[in-house]
């Protein structure tokens, strides 16, 4: 697994952030390997992590470690070594493997370069970072929390860009941090509603699909289709051209032309979509929004399979560092799954790896077919009962 992270990549990231200048006892690579061990073995604390590595003392040389790091050393590094070096490692790994893990097409879509935006909140057993929501009625303080704002590439299934903030921060601020290429497609829920950005994206030919708020203020300029009164109608019920006001600090900058689509699913649920693209078919707009659920699956995958309930440090830096290590681990799992061509579920695959984290086995063969790989190593005389 560690062979998937080139030493040159780690060294380049370390030099960029000068990460080894004050941590000679814990080089960046040793720090990264230690934290990835904690992520894959699902350690809920630094003590579990360090004692787990200590139990592997005879195999640490294979990981490039001379000895297991002390808990105090690891704790200090989590607090003081800037988390951005782990962000850089993640971005460079993504750049390296993006084309390999990306599928050429997505079911129901004829477009390319689709990005999905959303956020997920993780509660902390600390009030260090302010959580979302109101204070409890019983007078107690609410728990702290972080919010992971993410832009996911729909064709690769991994986070392309992330920003970690206090849970109280508004989701819309994340949109201003995005760097997008022309002809990109964005899909997000109605919580992200910034008409000023919509206008800028339209000028740059960056297309978006979202849902319209129930209380949205708009003016209809043209009706292209309206079958809302037809009995048992489904699919595209109404298609309109509309305009919305564009403002900046109470200054009216004019009106933006958009496209409004009312769509009814086979189950009878109605959605109101809005987009700045006027060429894609209305059915394609609905299909694009349907893929928004992929980011919900990604958040579920991260929270259920990796340690994001307890953190290995109480500083914001340590928390962000752990989140980026989880993103690195998830990316490596996607690469491993593609290389091994396995049909195992993500949860089953991560369980197998967790149980054999320091076993001497062929990773890709074992992930693809565990019993066949085991027989190949130890002979066909060993019987198994699948």
pLDDT at 144: 64
Task: Grade residue 244 by pLDDT with cuts at 50, 70 and 90.
Answer: very high
pLDDT tens digits, one per residue of 248-292: 777 778 899 999 999 999 898 999 999 999 999 999 999 999 989
Q: What is the mean pLDDT of residues 209-232?
A: 90
pLDDT at 59: 80
CA 74 to chain centre: 26
- Kindly report the CA angle at 327 between 193 and 4, in degrees rounded to 5? 140
| Of 104-108, 145-149, 158-162, the least confident | 104-108
pLDDT tens digits, one per residue of 305-323: 998 888 888 888 999 999 9
109 class by beta-carbon count within 10 Å (0-12 exposed, 13-18 middle, 19+ buried): middle
Q: Which two tokens stand for residue 218?
A: 């708009």
pLDDT tens digits, one per residue of 16-52: 999 888 777 889 999 999 999 999 999 988 999 998 8
State yes or no: pLDDT of 220 exceeds 60. Answer: yes
CB atoms within 10 A of CB 254: 9
pLDDT tens digits, one per residue of 342-368: 888 888 889 888 888 887 888 888 888
Q: Which two tokens stand for residue 169?
A: 């921060």
% of the chain beyond a pLDDT of 70: 91
Q: What is the C-alpha to C-alpha distance for residues 25 and 184, in angstroms, rounded to an integer?
A: 45
Q: Cβ contacts of residue 116 below 8 Å, gap of 6+?
A: 151, 152, 154, 186, 187, 188, 291, 292, 294, 295
| Of 139-143, 304-308, 331-335, the least confident | 139-143
Q: Cβ contacts of residue 347 below 8 Å, gap of 6+?
A: 304, 305
Task: Grade residue 330 by pLDDT with cuts at 50, 70 and 90.
Answer: very high
pLDDT at 132: 47
pLDDT at 376: 76
Q: Cβ contacts of residue 186 below 8 Å, gap of 6+?
A: 114, 115, 116, 117, 180, 201, 206, 207, 208, 209
Element spanning 255, H or E: strand 251-264
Q: What is the mean pLDDT of residues 68-97?
A: 93
Task: Grade residue 239 by pLDDT with cuts at 50, 70 and 90.
Answer: very high
Q: What is the mean pLDDT of residues 128-157?
A: 67
DSSP SS3 for 264? strand
pLDDT at 251: 78
Q: Which of 184, 216, 219 is nearest to 202 (CA)?
A: 184
pLDDT at 371: 77
Q: Which of 323, 13, 21 is nearest to 148 (CA)?
A: 323
122 DSSP β-pair partners: 146
Which of 140 and 4 is assigned the larger pLDDT? 4
State yes or no: pLDDT of 126 exceeds 60. Answer: no
Q: Mean pLDDT over all residues of the chain?
A: 86
CB atoms within 10 A of CB 121: 14
Which of 104 and 159 is assigned the larger pLDDT? 159
Global pTM reads 0.86
| Of 142-156, 209-223, 262-276, the least confident | 142-156
């Amino acid at each position: 697994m560690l062979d998937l992270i080139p030493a040159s990549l780690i060294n380049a990231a370390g030099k960029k952030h000068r990460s080894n200048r004050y941590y000679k006892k814990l080089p960046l690579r040793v720090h990264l390997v230690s934290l990835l061990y904690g992520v894959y073995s699902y350690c809920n604390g630094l003590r579990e992590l360090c004692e787990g590595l200590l139990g592997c003392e005879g195999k640490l040389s294979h990981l490039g470690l001379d000895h297991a790091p002390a808990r105090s050393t690891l704790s200090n590094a989590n607090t003081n070594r800037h988390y951005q070096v782990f962000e850089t490692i993640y971005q460079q790994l993504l750049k390296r493997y993006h084309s390999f893990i990306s599928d050429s097409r997505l079911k129901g879509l004829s477009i390319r370069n689709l990005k999905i935006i959303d956020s997920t909140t993780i509660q902390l057993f600390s009030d260090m970072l302010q959580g979302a929501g109101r204070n409890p009625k019983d007078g107690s303080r609410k728990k702290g929390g972080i919010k992971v704002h993410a832009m996911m590439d729909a064709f690769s299934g991994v986070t392309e860009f992330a920003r970690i903030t206090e849970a109280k921060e508004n989701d819309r601020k994340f949109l201003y941090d995005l760097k997008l290429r022309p002809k990109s497609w964005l899909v997000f829920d109605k919580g992200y509603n910034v008409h000023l950005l919509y206008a800028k994206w339209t000028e740059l030919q960056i297309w978006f699909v979202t849902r319209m708020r129930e209380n949205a203020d708009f003016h209809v300029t043209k009706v292209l289709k309206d079958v809302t009164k037809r009995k048992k109608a489904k699919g595209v019920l109404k298609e309109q051209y509309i305009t919305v006001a564009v403002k900046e600090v109470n200054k009216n900058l004019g009106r933006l032309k958009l496209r409004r689509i009312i769509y009814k699913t086979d189950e009878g649920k109605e959605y109101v979509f809005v987009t700045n693209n006027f060429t894609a078919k209305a059915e394609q707009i609905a299909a694009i929004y349907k893929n928004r659920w992929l980011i919900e699956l990604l958040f579920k995958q991260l929270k259920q399979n990796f340690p994001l309930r307890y953190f290995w440090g109480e500083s914001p830096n340590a928390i962000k560092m752990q989140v980026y290590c989880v993103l690195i681990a998830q990316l490596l799992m996607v690469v491993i799954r593609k290389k091994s061509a396995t049909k195992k579920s993500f949860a089953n695959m991560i369980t197998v790896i967790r149980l054999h984290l320091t076993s001497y086995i062929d990773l890709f063969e074992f992930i693809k077919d565990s019993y066949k790989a085991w027989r190949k190593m130890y002979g066909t005389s060993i019987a198994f009962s699948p």
